[in-house]
């Protein structure tokens, strides 16, 4: 349930769009998210999110291969809708927030078109850096009601907890975490 996985998805999302030239975007934290889903003991699903997501992206629908994203997630912002569980998820058993307060994703390349594709990059989570790939889709882009311009993307990534040093035993059905990202950027 790492924030860094969620960040990776956000980076993937930053590669789609329809702008005619590369532009810099600030990630809108009020309209961006990193969500996770993991099986609970093989009997049900636990859903949660990270409430603090920030970063930047560069996007050009005409040259999607030149798009890039950097996302940071505050791991302490984990929210599973149950305070006692969130406290445990912040502990040394899982995210070790005191030692690793941030997770991040930095893209290294994109293959696809303005509708979507595969975003490659490095996910840093729980003190481990790993290259990953995120499948991303462009949601849309255009003017907002306040005179700005926005672009939005979604992505998905499935991670194995042990790959990032999160080894607390939750049973075999809880080894993988499904991450979903939604990134909305405001052109600067």
pLDDT digits (tens, 9 = 90+) for 84-124: 999 999 999 999 999 999 999 999 999 999 999 999 999 99
pTM: 0.85
In angstroms, rounded to a whole number, what is the distance separating the alpha carbons of residues 166 and 161?
Answer: 5
For residue 16, the model assigns a pLDDT of 39
Beta-strand ranges (E) seen in 41-170 are: 44-50, 53-59, 68-74, 78-79, 102-113, 116-125, 128-143, 149-160
pLDDT over threshold 70, residue 3: no
pLDDT at 42: 86
Mean pLDDT, rounded, for 147-174: 94
**What is the CB neighbour count within 10 angstroms for residue 174?**
17
The secondary element (H helix, E strand) that includes residue 182 is strand 176-187
- Paired tokens of 33: 């998210």
Report, as an integer, the average pLDDT of 138-142. Answer: 96
Beta bridge partners of 104: 72, 124
Helix (H, G, I), strand (E, B) or coil at 18: coil
Contacts with 185 (C-beta within 8 Å, 6 or more apart), sequence order: 14, 25, 26, 27, 28, 56, 57, 59, 150, 151, 152
**Mean pLDDT across the chain, nearest whole number?**
90
Q: Which tokens hold the place of 70?
A: 């950097």
Domains in the chain, ordered, with CATH? Answer: 3-187 (2.40.128.110)
């Amino acid at each position: 349930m790492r924030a860094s996985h969620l960040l990776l998805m956000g980076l993937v999302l930053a590669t789609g769009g329809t702008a005619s030239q590369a532009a810099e975007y600030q990630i809108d934290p009020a309209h961006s998210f990193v969500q996770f889903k993991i099986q609970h003991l093989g009997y049900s699903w636990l859903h949660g999110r990270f409430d603090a997501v920030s970063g930047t992206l560069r996007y050009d629908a005409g040259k999607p291969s030149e798009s890039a994203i950097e996302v940071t997630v505050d791991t302490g912002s984990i929210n599973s809708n149950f305070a006692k569980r969130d406290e445990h998820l912040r502990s040394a058993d899982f995210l070790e927030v005191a030692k690793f307060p941030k997770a991040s994703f930095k893209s290294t390349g994109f293959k696809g078109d303005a509708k979507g594709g595969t975003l490659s990059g490095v996910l840093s989570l729980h003190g481990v850096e790993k290259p990953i790939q995120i499948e991303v889709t462009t949601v849309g882009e255009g003017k907002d009601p306040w005179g700005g311009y926005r672009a939005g993307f979604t992505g998905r990534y499935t991670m194995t907890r042990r790959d990032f040093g999160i080894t607390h035993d939750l049973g075999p059905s809880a080894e993988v975490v499904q991450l979903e990202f939604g990134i909305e950027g405001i052109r600067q």
